[in-house]
Amino acid sequence: MRSKKRLGLLGLILIISTVVRAQNVDTSALYIMQRMAGTLKNMTSCAVHVQAFYDTPTDDLGLIKRSKDETVYAHFPDKLMIDNKEDNERHALLYNGKKLVYYSFENNSYSLIDSVPNNVLETIQVLSKTYGIEVPAADYFYPSFVDDIKSTATALKLVGTTVVNGEECFHIAGKDSTMSYQFWIKNDLLFLPVKMVIVYNNRPGTPQYEAIYSGWNLNADLPASAFEFTVPPNAQKIAIKPTSAQQ
């Protein structure tokens, strides 16, 4: 009898917790994000420019703010190209559905990964988990992006509207058990992402990542040759190691 009472009490607590969490998820914010996801889910290809700012830890100065300028070209399901410019470095990543190449302009060197999945989304996961390479704007490519936020958010709210780089945007803020985040989504028919900020509350110093998106070109006519790599004169081929092997 006592165990049944405990089970009944536990069930009541779970129901109350679910209701409280649901009350903390603003349906207006969720609707806007779902409209954004609907636009991106239906695209066959895209090009977007990403200007990112991120914190990196140092032993003597604490967190240092760094930046990078990236252009992403994707043709779904199996082509991806990224042009990345950051501190004293420029490199490109090209994926054609069969192999992936990572090229350094400064060193005129390239690394080849032959064993890759046959689609963009799984390849993005391999790059992140195995090689520590993050693809800008990758979160938006996943069909489950908004559902994942909905299932893990402890709070999600439409803050209001504001202007970012001359664009009127919906401002949405939320958090989960490890991070807080904000999205600025354009207030028009397409609901495209304009800006994102993430604060990693579970990491020392609570580092931040900020990205500004511009020049969205949906269903762009991207030639297959844009995703092919031709070895430049005198380029050196080097091995790329998984991040676990580098530690």
With beta carbons less than 8 A apart as the criterion, state whether 134 and 151 touch: no
Handedness of CA 126, 128, 134, 135 (dihedral sign): positive
pLDDT at 23: 53
pLDDT at 128: 93
Q: Where are the domains of the chain?
A: 26-242
**CA-to-CA distance for 81 and 43, rounded, in angstroms?**
16
Mean pLDDT of 114-133: 94
pLDDT single digits (tens) 15-64? 333 433 455 999 999 999 999 999 999 999 999 999 999 999 999 999 99
Quote the pTM value.
0.86
pLDDT category of residue 14 using cuts at 50, 70 and 90: very low
**CA-to-CA distance for 79 and 119, rounded, in angstroms?**
7
**Structure tokens belonging to residue 229:** 């790599």
pLDDT single digits (tens) 211-245? 999 999 999 999 999 999 999 999 999 999 888 54
Q: Domain 26-242 classified CATH 3.40.50.300?
A: no
**CA-to-CA distance for 144 and 139, rounded, in angstroms?**
9
Q: Is 23 helix (H, G, I), strand (E, B) or coil?
A: helix
Residue closest to 76 by CA, chosen among 27, 34, 120: 120
